[in-house]
Chain A
């Protein structure tokens, strides 16, 4: 296996496979990040500005606020699960292809 020092990083950067990985990953991470942060910050914002909504009882004495706070756990886990599926199923595979392709090349001097 070639030494990392010999890898032409600019060439990898310009490679279409790497650009495709970069595009897919960037979009996916932005979507997940914006979604999870929005969902989370609705909790303190809602508690502060819409307490009357949080007070509505839904299930026995359990109100919107409590169930919404509990749903935060489910959503955080779901985001993590979603990311894991995509990362192991797609990003890892693409990254491995790139690593193999560039390590097989003759070291450039």
Chain B
């Protein structure tokens, strides 16, 4: 119980830091939650965090062996694991991000969410069961089965650490910004709070606690979404066409479409503008970008280390299959709900009000919750907002915990036990100690990177994590499991080429910030200002008003123009005197935003060619064993009982 006592003092520290900061936050920038509702917000946060801490406390005493720490000794059921996978996957980016994408861009946002579910078809059909049958704790376990164990562990672990760090940084920075926007706690403090809480869960509770935190958070997330959807949809008697008709008929939505389309919208009627919200092309302009993104999503998920790791926590392949089926039911159901949440937020709150708080739209769901509860000044409005915010906070902590556990297992199990101390006996106690130390290192790193990356454009990192997972991890795992001639050389080549191509293409892509382009775009907006203003004035000042719709549109254009001018001025100030991107480039070398369409085939090709070129007796000799085991699960119990 020593661990749990230490644990409770950690919690007390975190909560007292939060409480101590509360009085100051009223002075911070405008936040979504009003000052007088802080006590309520804090209570809801404490309740949600307290629940997860209680579970960690309960599970802390069960963590004795490496199998407990990394894989909960295979004791998680298929249903529980399904919820935990959903919890791992529905990160703040997908929960808040997708609702926001739909609220701001309509159809394209929804189309994006479809890929997240379809990704699990790949996981279900070719990855989950074989991985459970072959692996033990980590991605590298699968690769090391046939290929050279040392090289497999080094390259597998490096890839896991790379992918996890990209994803982790995006979560830490995104989470810090989110908590600051929602409740006004300083960015640095919220990054540290997320880091410390997460470390508490992982170090004391290992995989058991991490799993339960995911389950609790996923359950709360689904409950919150169902409540919001009910409130939005009941007035329409659950009729989708009636609800959508109101969305497209909303002047706020029509104004948003007009702003997105710019000049080409002048010939459209308001009802055409509204209908356009349900049609593709408002967000994704380049077809190849859409396809590239779709590829990275559906193949990348199967290579995400923190998702793969979840399959080692169940007893056998049948339970792994059941986990994916439950996860697909939960994740799919959730994304269908976001359709209503996103369009509901667009209709009830309005795209302009959402992007005013956060340009990326991340506040769509929280603002919708506040509106549905009764608005900014009501108790229930603020209670619902606090609840959604607390769930978002728990989401960040939980996803970060899963990622840190994956990276730490690669460090401790693959690099330390598997490579540095290869061939020597490492006791179970030493393994757990190594795992805890690795967790501490990764966690401290996450906090430092989170603080260092403050204010950076990190959205690109999530795409990059999926791209590397799809281009390096996925080809290597797939070929190792299914292709007789795959071998060590192919695995190394696939990992190296897949990662380098994905990262390299991203570094020269338009995703990075190019100061010259920003300044040029801003100047263009400023130059066009006068002509646009004159045109708008002409419509508004017309003594014989033509039609109601023209005036509505002119007003919307005026608002959009004002905002564009403000942004342009801010950009010019921000980028003055700079001329090169992070990579020292004046302009992007390629127009592709997501590298998937090139890097995924490149990873596969490298793995296949190198396998054919260089012979590897071990990989050939082990093929029958691996293939029989991955299909039948023979000898699987060896993986869990130690």
The residues of A with any CB-CB pair to B shorter than 8 Å are 4, 7, 9-10, 12-13, 18, 21-22, 25, 29, 32-33, 36-37, 40-41, 43-45, 47-49, 51, 54-55, 57, 59-63, 65-66, 69-70, 72-73, 76-77, 79-80, 83-84, 87-88, 92, 95, 98-99, 102-103
Contacts and interface: CB of A to CB of B under 8 A. Distances in A.
Contacts of B321: 84, 87-88
- Tell which of A22, A41, A49 has the most Cβ of chain B within 10 Å: A41
B430 interface: no
- Nearest first, the 8 closest Cβ-Cβ pairs linking A and B are A60-B241, A4-B635, A48-B287, A47-B280, A9-B625, A9-B624, A44-B290, A13-B624
Contacts of B114: 40, 43, 69, 72-73
Interface in B94-126: 107-108, 110-111, 114-115, 117-118, 120-122, 124-126
B121 A76 contact: yes
Contact of A76 (B110, B245, B275, B328): B328
Contacts of B629: 9
16 contacts: A9-B624, A12-B628, A29-B125, A36-B121, A40-B118, A47-B111, A47-B280, A48-B291, A62-B244, A62-B278, A65-B280, A66-B110, A66-B278, A72-B118, A76-B328, A83-B125
B124 A80 contact: yes
A49 B633 CA distance: 45
Contact of A25 (B298, B335, B631, B635): B631
Contacts of B281: 47, 51
B329 interface: yes
Nearest to A58: B241
A43 to B, nearest CB: 6
Interface of B: 107-108, 110-111, 114-115, 117-118, 120-122, 124-126, 129, 240-242, 244-245, 248, 275, 278-281, 284, 287, 290-291, 293-294, 298, 318, 321, 324-325, 328-329, 332, 335-336, 339, 624-625, 627-629, 631-635, 638
A70 B111 CA distance: 9
Nearest to A103: B634
B280 A48 contact: yes
Nearest to B299: A37
B126 A29 contact: yes
B233 to A, nearest CB: 15
A66 B102 CA distance: 12
Interface SS, A side: helix
Given A41-B291, A95-B633, A10 B624 contact: yes
B628 A13 contact: yes
Nearest to B333: A73
A76 B118 contact: yes
Contacts of A83: 124-125
B374 to A, nearest CB: 29
Please indicate which of the listed interface residues B124, B287, B325, B631 has the most CB atoms of chain A within 10 Å of its own CB: B631
A29 B240 CA distance: 35
> B120, B248, B279, B339: which has the most chain A beta carbons within 10 Å?
B279
A12 B245 CA distance: 61
A40 B638 CA distance: 38
B241 A61 contact: yes
Contacts of B631: 18, 21-22, 25, 95
Nearest to A8: B624
Main secondary structure of the interface of B (DSSP, over half): helix
A32 B122 CA distance: 10
A4 B332 contact: no
A43 B336 CA distance: 16
Contacts of B635: 4, 7
A4 B145 CA distance: 14
Contacts of A37: 298
Nearest to A63: B278
Contacts of B117: 72-73, 76
Given A66-B244, A84-B325, 15 more contacts: A9-B629, A21-B631, A36-B125, A44-B291, A45-B287, A47-B107, A47-B108, A48-B287, A55-B279, A59-B241, A61-B241, A61-B248, A83-B125, A98-B632, A99-B633
A109 B638 CA distance: 21
Contacts of B121: 32-33, 36, 40, 76, 79-80
Contact of B632 (A44, A48, A49, A99): A99
Nearest to B280: A47
Contact of B318 (A22, A40, A59, A92): A92
A88 B318 contact: yes
Given A41-B291, A84-B325, A88-B318, A4 B126 contact: no
For A51, A62, A80, which residue has the most chain B Cβ atoms within 10 angstroms? A80
Given A51-B281, A62-B278, A69-B111, A33 B627 contact: no
Contacts of A41: 291, 294
Contacts of B339: 70
B294 A40 contact: yes
A73 B290 CA distance: 18
A77 B281 CA distance: 27
A95 B335 CA distance: 35
Contacts of A18: 628, 631-632
A4 to B, nearest CB: 3
Contact of B244 (A10, A48, A61, A95): A61
Interface centre among B118, B328, B336 (most CB of A within 10 A): B118
A47 B125 contact: no
B279 to A, nearest CB: 5
A32 B125 contact: yes
Contacts of A98: 632, 634
A75 B12 CA distance: 48
Contacts of B628: 7, 9, 12-13, 18
Contacts of B324: 80
A80 B291 contact: no
B367 to A, nearest CB: 24
A22 B117 CA distance: 27
A51 B115 contact: no
A94 to B, nearest CB: 9
Nearest to A4: B635
A37 to B, nearest CB: 7
A99 B636 CA distance: 11
Nearest to A14: B624
